[in-house]
Amino acid sequence: MNFNHLENYFVYLDTNIFVKNGFNPNTSEFKALKNHIRHGNVRILSNEVLEHEIKTHIGKLVSEQRNALKRKDRFNILNGLDFVSINEDFYKQSHEDITEAHFKKVLSGLEPLFLPLGKVNADEMFHRCKENLAPFGKKKTDEYHDLLQVLSLKQYKEGNRKLVADKKQNIEGFGHVLKNMSPDLIIISNDKKFTECSKDLQVGSHHFESISKFLEFYIKDDFERDLEQEKRYIKNLATKYNHWLMNPEIFDGLVEVDCVHSDAYFVKVQHENFDIVDIDLLEDDREDSLAVYSITVNGDIEVEVGQPEYRIWDSEDRDYSYGPTEYHSLNVPFSCTYSITIFYDTDSKSYTDYHSVIDEIELDTIEIHYDE
């Protein structure tokens, strides 16, 4: 595999990148990034604040999943949570154990190097807060955790780069980068204030809003085919031939109706509309003559929901009896990220086959409240 164009990069992933990928370590973006990590061209950086934030987010998702199960709702909040079945056995493990297990799963394959927070300049931190300097703002007054992360990276960038590796982390095989203590430091974040702060403190060599943007930026410099033509081909595939996205039934297991205060229930998805908002190149494998693209889609689905006109308490049967059902059609926004792998003939510059893999679909919760 051709990775010569990706050499000696230290990469810092902000928490929101993990949030964007649903804390699922098996999305197309993470799989592509791990390929570069395995070949020793990219090294992920981490610190205590980042890992604490990731654990906190995962802990909240675990709580939401437990609450969903209490409502007998099968909705899978934790995408990629395949080390334990989402059923009654879910309660046999403690909240802390499930959180820790999923945290380790999220970081698996990233093999991050742990940076010390170092000495914190309290005067500098308070000054940035008082003056509303990034990462702070008028509506973002509690961003010390972001500033701590940036200052940790600043310390590394300025030459005080004694990387503190956890005892369980193996740094062998990355010596060629450790010898070169001035590799490019890539900041990947879709938080504008975090990015502004890192630029203001001259921390990152380059800044990207997603993993896919970072990978494409470096891959396209060494791309031998017509990238724009290939993207047009990908867009055509994504628009016309991705049958799973054109099939409303793909959403059936993902629609969640708020039934806590309601007797409403999901019936079916009628149809969907979607627009392709982004196409990014993740991998270009010349040995196997294939390329992997990430597709980002936004759209809406028309959901049919049933709701009884009334319900009456039957004291003898100790249960509700329901009147005729009314049906409502609601538009629900969704976003989706998935990958398309295309196989090409190097000699004829034609495409021989393709397949697509869905990463995740995010839907807004449908809320219908029944008026007693």
As to burial, measured by CB atoms within 10 angstroms (0-12 exposed, 13-18 middle, 19+ buried), residue 287 is exposed
Q: What is the pLDDT of residue 349?
A: 66
pLDDT tens digit sequence for 226-236: 888 889 888 88
Decide if pLDDT at 22 tops 60.
yes
Q: What is the pLDDT of residue 18?
A: 93
Q: What is the pLDDT of residue 372?
A: 38
Amino acid letter, 155: Q
**Confidence category of residue 16, pLDDT binned at 50, 70, 90:** very high
262, 268, 301, 295: which is closest to 281 by C-alpha? 295
Q: Contact, 310 vs 271, CB < 8 A?
A: no
Decide if pLDDT at 117 tops 70.
yes
Lowest mean pLDDT among 41-50, 257-266, 316-325: 257-266
**Confidence category of residue 67, pLDDT binned at 50, 70, 90:** confident
Q: Contact, 28 vs 361, CB < 8 A?
A: no
Decide if pLDDT at 76 tops 70.
no
pLDDT tens digit sequence for 185-199: 899 999 888 888 888
Cα 106 from Cα 102, distance rounded (Å): 6
pLDDT tens digit sequence for 126-182: 566 556 665 555 555 556 678 788 888 887 776 644 443 343 344 444 444 444 445
Residue 328 φ/ψ, nearest 5 degrees: -120, 140
DSSP state letters, 323-362 = -PEEEEEEEEEEEEEEEEEEEEETTTTEEEEEEEEEEEEE
Amino acid letter, 110: L
Q: What is the pLDDT of residue 133?
A: 63
Q: Return the structure tokens found at 65.
A: 């999943």
Top pLDDT among 125 and 176 is at: 125
Question: What's the whole-number mean pLDDT along residues 74-86?
Answer: 51
**Confidence category of residue 355, pLDDT binned at 50, 70, 90:** confident
